[in-house]
Structure 1
Amino acid sequence: MGRLNASDTPAGAAPPAPEPVPSWTVSRTFGQLDQQKDQLLFGLQNNRQIEFTLRRDRIASEAELTLDYTPSPALLPNLSHLRVYLNEVLMGTVAIEREQLGTRNRHQMTLDPRLISDFNRVRIEFVGHYQDLCEDPGHSALWLNLAQDSRISLREQALVLSNDLAFFPRPFFDKWDGDKTRVNMVFAADPSLGEQRAAGILASYFGSLAGWRGTEFPVWFDELPVAGSEPGTTPSVVFATNDRRPAAVTALDRFLPVAAPEVALIDHPADPFRKVMLVLGRHDEDLAVAARALALGGKLLRGDRVRVLEAQPLQPRRPYDAPNWIATDRPVSFAELISYPEQLQVHGPQPGPITLELNLPPDLFVWRNQGIPLETQYRYTPPSVDDDSRLSISLNEQFITSLPLSGSHHGRLAALGLAVTARETANASNKLLVPAQNMGAKNRLRYDFSFASTFGGAQPDRCQTVLAVDTRALIDEGSTIDLSGYHHFIAMPDLAAFARSGFPFSRMADLSETLVLIPATTTATRLATLLETLAGIAAETGYPALALRLSDDWNEAREADADLLVFGTLPESQGYDVELADVLQKPGAWLLQGAVSTPQARHQARRRLEQGAFPPEARVEVRARGPLAAIVGMQSPYAAQRSIVALLANDEADFRLLRATLGDSRRLAAVSGSVALVRASGVESQLVGSQYYVGYLPWWLKIWFLLSSHPVLLAGLTVLCTLLAAFLLWRALRWAAHRRRHEA
């Protein structure tokens, strides 16, 4: 749908009024910008950097910084102040007045919006003085508390973009956007399995890009969202075949019908600031091909319309090869783990920590292991005081070890040597074993360099000034961590593994060993829950669900050697009969009456309940209105090594509650065990029923592991084995003595 040009205006008529440019104010606190607590600025560690981003399809027309700070009461007023820089350009100073000392203050400062680009950095520098002469830069009186409630506010304005797929995945996903990735999904009424599958593939692709940001996919049937129905300029994706198309795009006949899978990018018919991507095909399979092409070949796209000839991955995925997970079949260098170039470098008299995120498969078996090999190579400016300088290493905030930082130098300085071998840098390496019991699915490895330095004295009779050395340190990218040789073995059901890592479905990053079972009919909320769940799994693996399989037929589950992800209810015909009414609360436990594989097992569970396995303390019957949902994990009845995770909900309110829980990291952290009951008040989880094990262990290690939880039995077996060995030894000695007597 084109827009009028000036030449199209009739003679004598007034030109049309320009379309208003959408704009809005975005305000983020330092706490939302990764400063999780108040920060203290000291005399030696006197600056703090706050980073923020701006989408490339927006510009900032106004910018403001609000500082919440508390200065030390011992500071000299006016002589002490703050300097504020935006992208290393001085924006202004904030003088500390006498009445502000020791109290919390707020100051607003205008920032120059012309300096704001996609990645920005505000640096706040504290210049503190507590006396006129002979100051000690490390004196405890020099401090200023910078509150995490400080904020940066931007007036953002939308830009009109060209319809060019060369910029894909923008504007649907922009890496500079720190908010949730939000994309509207538009279908014809009652979308088919093929349409839902194509949307699932594309949603998982956006999820793999969004990662920690999260995703949100509002679903619309037969209509495009218009301005005012949602915030910002959220883009939309329309799925349409030659025979089935949403009513909103029926008038766009120039894009339909098609002779092959196609992707087109157009302006929203009623809003030029919004983009609409049409995913087109002759039939449902064409839609899946087009979705895979967007996920695999985004760098090949260009123009406003693309015809897809082929879209298939060249090599099949292997178990545990998710891009976001550390490889477990070889040593991994730190160069593969960093997110930005300067991540392994720090500088300053008191440098900050160096951190690395280590994401592991949740079923990695490290029980009673001696430790995980960690080889660290590091370089640093030699300290002036050898005895008190240290490199501390910790994992998940648990201290591991501390290494001395020596100022001595080893080896000769070669002519024209590289900087890494110069006298100004001490080189060292260390090999250690990280305690395996400290490792989980998500880990943070932290290095803290602590340098001891001697500065000039501040005595009146011996006043001198010493310029502090700009100490530098780094962890070499060639450092390695080695997780090879470990088995994969985990006790199931474990909903915490699903909530945090998408396991067991994420075992194959493309979901090639997963079957998703959905109701025969769907609604906008149910479909949005499906799409956001698939995107959440992809966010953990970093890879889209290219091999996604959807079905509404439980008979297909019987034939498939796959883990089952179920939405809605479990049908009674399959031996489950599990609805929310079957999740009953008992004192100290949750009993899922139907979450067993056979009717006989379900009958036994009911008998245990009646016989007092869970003795009742009271009987309560209620009838209430309110949303209720559940997440249930169990063993698949069709394969011993396969699992079922069911997201149970009955009506739209239940699905809205379930969807909100899956999109909230704090609520999701409470999901664990085998049953998680979801209510408006929160999530309550319990482990009920028998456990089963998924994965492989050598028989001797598996026996030792299973017996470790039964010490009495293990002691009895040890005594029995000792007696048996003694008896065999006694029989052998008797036989040897008997043989000697006969030979004599």
Structure 2
Amino acid sequence: MKRIKLFYCQIFGILCFSLVFPCQSLQAKILEIPLAKIMTRPEAIQLHGVEDFYELSLPVSARHRIDKSRLVLDFRHSNVLVPSRSQLRVRVNGITIGQFVLNPKSPRQLETMEFPPELLTPGYNRIEFSVAQHYTDQQCEAPDSPELWSEIDSLRSKFILEASPKMLKPTLAQLEDLFDEHLLEFPLQILMPKITTQSLQWGALATQGIALRLNYRTPKLYFSPPPLRPASESGPAGLDFASLSHDAILIGTKNELQLWLPENVHGAIQGPYLHIMAQPGQSERLLLVISGNNDQEVTQAAQAFALLNYPFPDTQSTVIHSLDLPSMARANPPLVKTDATYSFAQLGLPTTSFNASMQPKPAEMVVKLPPDFYASEHASATFSLHLAYSGGMRRDSVLEVRINDVLQDTIQLNEESGAHYRDYQIVLPMRNFSPGPNRITFRPILAPLITGECTYINLDNLNVTLFDDSTLTLPDADHYTALPNLALFSRTGFPYTQPADGSDMAVQLLDDKPSTAIAAWLVMGKLAQINQVPLWNTAFVTTPAAEDRHRLIFGQSNEIPNDLLKKAPIGKTPQGTRWPYALWKGYEPPKQSWWRRFLSPESTPKPKVTPYAAQMTHTGDSGQYGLVTAFQSPDHPKRLITAFLAKTSENLAKSAYRLTQPEMWGQLKGDLAVWIPKAPKLAWQESGKAFYVGKISPTRAMGYHFNRHPWQWLLAMVGILLLFAWLTHRLLARFKHRRHPDANEIAP
């Protein structure tokens, strides 16, 4: 009896303790992930032929524990399939989680399948949908018959995951997992006591560090002063963690953060300082402290955070005693140089074998050209391929070469006994390449030699190998291009990412509102993702920049100075806003003289392109639209200004968040674009005047000049010939005087 009483007393004691010190409960979240959200393009998944498959990647964060997982699949298929031989199979990381008979009596099916959550691992999980489709029970059928099809609705089909956040015990070595690109959304609070030009730079560096770790995703930023918990009997004043809703970064000098930091953390700030910890009471969230004794040390700490890309140090805090930054060259490291030869191994493509399939997975490599490269019309790039293919393939087997999904050339694999090529050359004009990243794809299309109905088809001999000692040779080129060009800006960040440390750009804010700062930080984060390194030397200003730099401007549309818009496609007048409405582009045929045709008989000059637009001045404002426009600086003719504007600073932040998402950012073109934060597309036009930046080599500059001014070339040639004749006369006279001083005339 005493034991029973003792047992109940212990239970009662545990209950009382739990009431006084409640345990942390990390509430599970239900994540609904439509297939369209994790696809490159949100479209229906089409599966054709006797067999076909489609792969996509499902991101799972290391900060989540998946408790339950299921897939809801909405699909349709042909109504002439034979159900006994037709099925759809779903696999997760190579493990089959479901298979469904394709019944022609039910051409639309809605299926739900639960699968073990252990199949999902942190990172990208391979999801495969494959079909076997037949219209007859017989062995003889056309494998590509048009009635063999299935279609998966990527909007209605979705993964439903029950995910519990993990308790964090963070260190600086875990930054890649903590700021995790596999999170579908990443909300982040940036806390700073005040807004100054210095703190704007700190916030930009912190955002760039986050953006680089998120790869291509956009963080959702919130900016405010740090909330203060007043002193009480339970403890001294400090940061009010209960007021925080997300992960947070606290930035400021040691003196500025004194009220918010615990004594042990505050006392550890003995230089540029980084500290990471779980938020007390909310251990699934983190707090990162970036601080130092003065402004310069905080800047160094923020730069260090943006640059930490290796799991070291494995501690919660560190003091940076020195930070030696490299002097950046003109091009950032991923760029290839012109007038050079690169092996495929150097370009990131290892030796690749395409095996046992009529359409195996293509091989790809990315060649990142300088954003402002300028080559002559006759310049070409040369591929020297080392490849081999097996015998027993039909003569129409080919290996396609594509650049940015555009077919450039094909290699016929037409030797029945196979072949081995050591130096198979493909010469392509440089104009087929784009500035910035170019995706080069090698896509084999292979056919077996022996086919036919009721015939065994051997696929095992369909083999092609492309070796990594194949090379790409690029011609010499200059750095010269036309601006403004928002498409070039979205692809490469040019001209703001040249040099790669941002030392040739300035960021100007038209006000000191937090939402305006958020918009600037989001765009800087996107530029860092494009640049692949943080732009740590960018200057932040709140007044018109006097420095000779390219400039990014953020603010409300009614606050931008009218003098700044002298060369912009839009403007402000006392009557209202001047706005262009594009009509058409005029293509004027070039005037080519006979001298120019003689100098360059094979050249075909490009027609002059002139955009025509109606200029309209009217009342009204941008409303809920965001706006970006690029134009020549009125103060520095070789500098570009790109202005991000909206009616209010709050709408500017929302617009910047929408624009910096991948599907919107890639739509930028021309020199003027507008969009609604919730819309899937933006509207753009090209209506301003272009100007040119960069330098051309003296040889190309002379050729360009004399092609445009042939009479000057003619006069120069006449002058050179006269000079040559005079020198020849003088040399002959001197020769005669030395060797034949007595010869005054030629003897008869």
Same fold (TM over 0.5): yes
Whether contact under 8 Å (2:580, 2:687) holds in the other structure is no
Letter in 2 for 1:539: Q
Partner of 1:601: none
Q: Is 1:254 aligned with 2:264?
A: yes
Q: Is 1:159 aligned with 2:166?
A: yes
Partner of 1:490: 481
Distance (Å, rounded) in 2 between the aligned partners of 1:342 and 1:361: 26
**2:329 counterpart SS class:** coil
Partner of 1:169: 176
Q: Is 1:334 aligned with 2:344?
A: yes
Distance (Å, rounded) in 1 between the aligned partners of 2:102 and 2:660: 43
Write the mapping of 1:73-112 to structure 2, written as runs, cut at 5 A: 73-100=79-106, 103-112=107-116
Distance (Å, rounded) in 2 between the aligned partners of 1:125 and 1:623: 54
Letter in 1 for 2:40: D
Match of 1:202 among 184, 194, 206: 206
**Would the alpha carbon gap of residues 144 and 496 (structure 1) be closer, same or farther in structure 2, given more than 3 Å must change?**
closer
Structure 1 unaligned segments of length 5 or more: list them: 1-5, 411-424, 591-612, 709-713
Distance (Å, rounded) in 2 between the aligned partners of 1:394 and 1:13: 67
TM superposition shift of 1:58: 1.0
**2:442 counterpart SS class:** strand
**Would the alpha carbon gap of residues 240 and 347 (structure 1) be closer, same or farther in structure 2, given more than 3 Å must change?**
farther
**Would the alpha carbon gap of residues 375 and 148 (structure 1) be closer, same or farther in structure 2, given more than 3 Å must change?**
farther
Letter in 2 for 1:84: V
Match of 2:407 among 399, 406, 410: 399
Whether contact under 8 Å (1:321, 1:327) holds in the other structure is no
Letter in 2 for 1:143: L
1:472-493 CA-partner distances (Å, limit 9, x unpaired):
4343333332335211101223
Partner of 2:492: 501
Whether contact under 8 Å (1:589, 1:686) holds in the other structure is no
**2:700 counterpart SS class:** helix
Partner of 2:685: 685
Partner of 2:469: 478
1:40-60 CA-partner distances (Å, limit 9, x unpaired):
445564333332221111122
1:272-323 CA-partner distances (Å, limit 9, x unpaired):
111111112112211111122223345322222222212222x311011243
TM superposition shift of 1:372: 1.6
TM superposition shift of 1:567: 2.9
The one of the two structures with greater contact order (alpha-carbon pairs below 8 A, sep at least 6) is: 1
1:188-226 CA-partner distances (Å, limit 9, x unpaired):
1x3222222122122222323334323433222223897
TM superposition shift of 1:31: 6.4
Distance (Å, rounded) in 2 between the aligned partners of 1:631 and 1:616: 18
**1:687 counterpart SS class:** coil
TM superposition shift of 1:722: 6.0
Q: Is 1:135 aligned with 2:140?
A: yes
**Would the alpha carbon gap of residues 470 and 44 (structure 1) be closer, same or farther in structure 2, given more than 3 Å must change?**
farther
**1:317 counterpart SS class:** coil
Match of 1:222 among 206, 210, 226: 226
Q: Is 1:237 aligned with 2:249?
A: yes
Write the mapping of 1:261-340 to structure 2, written as runs, cut at 5 A: 261-297=272-308, 298-313=310-325, 315-323=326-334, 325-328=335-338, 330-338=340-348
Partner of 1:449: 444
Letter in 2 for 1:95: V
Partner of 2:382: 373
Match of 1:192 among 190, 196, 200: 196
1:49-99 CA-partner distances (Å, limit 9, x unpaired):
332221111122222223343333442123322233222222232112240
- Of the structure 1 ranges 149-158 and 110-119, higher mean CA displacement relative to structure 2 is found in 149-158
Q: Is 1:117 aligned with 2:121?
A: yes
Distance (Å, rounded) in 2 between the aligned partners of 1:98 and 1:300: 58
Whether contact under 8 Å (2:90, 2:127) holds in the other structure is yes
**1:48 counterpart SS class:** strand
**Would the alpha carbon gap of residues 209 and 375 (structure 1) be closer, same or farther in structure 2, given more than 3 Å must change?**
farther
**Would the alpha carbon gap of residues 161 and 566 (structure 1) be closer, same or farther in structure 2, given more than 3 Å must change?**
same
TM-score, normalised to structure 2, is 0.78
Whether contact under 8 Å (1:347, 1:473) holds in the other structure is no
Partner of 1:510: 501
TM superposition shift of 1:695: 1.0
Partner of 1:711: none
**Would the alpha carbon gap of residues 621 and 564 (structure 1) be closer, same or farther in structure 2, given more than 3 Å must change?**
closer
Whether contact under 8 Å (1:262, 1:281) holds in the other structure is yes
Q: Is 1:652 aligned with 2:659?
A: no
Distance (Å, rounded) in 2 between the aligned partners of 1:662 and 1:181: 16
- Of the structure 1 ranges 620-629 and 146-155, higher mean CA displacement relative to structure 2 is found in 620-629
TM-score, normalised to structure 1, is 0.78
Distance (Å, rounded) in 1 between the aligned partners of 2:412 and 2:366: 24
Whether contact under 8 Å (2:352, 2:467) holds in the other structure is no
CA RMSD of aligned residues (A): 4.2
Distance (Å, rounded) in 2 between the aligned partners of 1:430 and 1:337: 18
Whether contact under 8 Å (1:580, 1:648) holds in the other structure is no
TM superposition shift of 1:548: 2.8
TM superposition shift of 1:25: 1.5
Match of 1:350 among 359, 365, 373: 359
**Would the alpha carbon gap of residues 91 and 140 (structure 1) be closer, same or farther in structure 2, given more than 3 Å must change?**
same
Partner of 1:550: 540
TM superposition shift of 1:505: 1.1
1:2-21 CA-partner distances (Å, limit 9, x unpaired):
xxxx9998669677355142
**Would the alpha carbon gap of residues 128 and 44 (structure 1) be closer, same or farther in structure 2, given more than 3 Å must change?**
closer
Whether contact under 8 Å (2:493, 2:527) holds in the other structure is yes
Distance (Å, rounded) in 2 between the aligned partners of 1:443 and 1:344: 22
Letter in 1 for 2:472: I
Equivalent residue pairs, number: 672
**Would the alpha carbon gap of residues 465 and 142 (structure 1) be closer, same or farther in structure 2, given more than 3 Å must change?**
farther
Whether contact under 8 Å (1:352, 1:448) holds in the other structure is yes
Q: Is 1:22 aligned with 2:28?
A: yes
Partner of 2:235: none
Whether contact under 8 Å (1:290, 1:311) holds in the other structure is no
**Would the alpha carbon gap of residues 344 and 180 (structure 1) be closer, same or farther in structure 2, given more than 3 Å must change?**
farther
- Of the structure 1 ranges 580-589 and 254-263, higher mean CA displacement relative to structure 2 is found in 580-589
1:299-348 CA-partner distances (Å, limit 9, x unpaired):
322222222212222x311011243x334463333334448x79875652
Whether contact under 8 Å (1:384, 1:452) holds in the other structure is no
**Would the alpha carbon gap of residues 163 and 666 (structure 1) be closer, same or farther in structure 2, given more than 3 Å must change?**
closer
Whether contact under 8 Å (1:334, 1:478) holds in the other structure is yes
**Would the alpha carbon gap of residues 364 and 12 (structure 1) be closer, same or farther in structure 2, given more than 3 Å must change?**
closer
Whether contact under 8 Å (1:676, 1:684) holds in the other structure is yes
Letter in 2 for 1:687: S
**Would the alpha carbon gap of residues 614 and 673 (structure 1) be closer, same or farther in structure 2, given more than 3 Å must change?**
closer
1:531-555 CA-partner distances (Å, limit 9, x unpaired):
111111111110112223223354x
**Would the alpha carbon gap of residues 409 and 180 (structure 1) be closer, same or farther in structure 2, given more than 3 Å must change?**
farther
Match of 1:566 among 553, 561, 568: 553
1:204-254 CA-partner distances (Å, limit 9, x unpaired):
223233343234332222238978986xxx4211113222239xx626333
Letter in 2 for 1:444: R
Distance (Å, rounded) in 1 between the aligned partners of 2:521 and 2:87: 51
Whether contact under 8 Å (1:264, 1:305) holds in the other structure is yes
**1:256 counterpart SS class:** helix
Distance (Å, rounded) in 1 between the aligned partners of 2:249 and 2:221: 10
